[in-house]
Amino acid sequence: MPVSCVPAGSAWGRKTLAFESELGAFIGAPEVVTVNSCTSALFLALLVEGIGPGDEVIVPSLTWCATANAALYLGATPVFCDVDPYSMCVTPQTVAAKVTGRTRAVVVVHYGGYAVDVEALRASLPADVILVEDAAHALGAMYANGRPVGASGHTVCFSFYANKNVSTAEGGALALFDSGKAERLRCLRMNGLESHAWSRYIRPSVAFSADVTELGYKANFTDLQAAIGRVQLSRLPEMAHVRLIIAEHYRECLDALGIGVTFQQGVFDKSHARHLLVIRFDSAKTTIRRDDLLLALRARNIGASVHYRPLHRQPLYSAQGVSCLPVTESLADAIMTLPISARMTLADVDYVVENLACLLNHEKVLQ
């Protein structure tokens, strides 16, 4: 009887393939390529488009550094654009203000889980400018046309990092419609092996030989992550429902306080993934500095945070001397992210709001 070195039905990527196919079905994309992070996904998405030195890639400044770093890894120049004050996301106008003859790509960020209208943006861009979507926050969100984020036909990058709505501790994926690009991405994520390395193991008729055809990376996903991801994905509707209840309770409690807080546009809509619950303070109604408030909340074991310190203010990028991002500048010191997760309870929300109210009122008394 022939002896197979393939453990029946378990290892060698079968769970990864199943996760990719379930994720593809969930978002309506024919090709899903899992990778080890969204950072890798963004980098590989730009790499397969041939982005390189001399090219400009427009990205919002209000994002995590991975969005812009992807361009920098390839020797291209990230060009920061402004965002809309209400959605806190890029618009056709804020992008258009930064388009030059050297613009090769735009990386849209679905900030917080708000789905940018990429059809409108695509229509406003020169035909040869590539659109890539950073959907690290937006699994489960829906575009203006009602389709899930990931089903646009662009290359859409997801994160499954520990704090994301679907988590595999670390991990990421690219969703796309182009099977040729997907095949190249499968090669690039696996050291540049000419074909899907796992399939060599899975199909006993094919002898394993590693044909390294180009300079690839060690950026693959694992079955261990996929096993977690499959369960997480199946629970996404249930977890999204809890996030909505949590967000609505915050709104009710904060509205009752009348402390001049506004939420990100669309955050209570069905189309929003509610990865982040971002609020903006009305400076006329509060006297305490946002950062002091954050520190005080943290001292009370409340994980409030800021997303993000704009990239054009980060030491890595500030030397670039970006000008004219007035909305990003105004948001930078006024926004705060409230804790939200599928494991929170309404009592947790009450605790956060009570402390927020107490700190804001106390500070007012001191003035």
Binding site for ligand PLP (CB under 6 A): 37-39, 63-64, 66-67, 109, 134, 136-137, 159, 161, 172
Nearer Cβ to ligand PLP (32/109) = 109
Nearer to ligand PLP, 278 or 353 (CB): 278
C-alpha torsion 19→117→325→295, nearest 10 = -50
Q: How far is the CB of 5 from ligand PLP (least distance, A)?
A: 32
Rank residues 173 and 349 by Cβ distance to ligand PLP and give the closer one: 173
Q: Which is nearer to ligand PLP, 61 or 286 (CB)?
A: 61
313 CB burial (10 A radius; 0-12, 13-18, 19+) = middle
CB of 140 to ligand PLP, least distance (A): 15
Neighbouring residues of 222: CB distance < 8 A, sequence distance ≥ 6: 16
- The rounded distance, in Å, linking the Cα atoms of 69 and 310 is 13
Whole-angstrom Cα distance, residue 333 to residue 318? 17
Complex with ligand PLP: residue 26 or 64, whichever CB lies closer = 64
285 is catalytic: no
List the catalytic residue out of 98, 164, 270, 364: 164
Write down the least CB distance from residue 65 to ligand PLP, Å. 8
Q: How far is the CB of 276 from ligand PLP (least distance, A)?
A: 9
What is 308-344 written as a DSSP string? ---GGGSHHHHTT-----HHHHHHHTTEEEEP--TT-
3-state secondary structure 87-141: CCCCCHHHHHCCCCCCEEEEEEECHHHCCCCHHHHHHHCCCCCEEEEECCCCCCC
Spell out a b/e string for 169-189, using b for 16 or more CB atoms within 10 Å of the CB, else e: ebbbbbbbbeeebbebbbbbb
N-term to C-term CA, the chain: 85
Residues acting as catalytic residues: 164
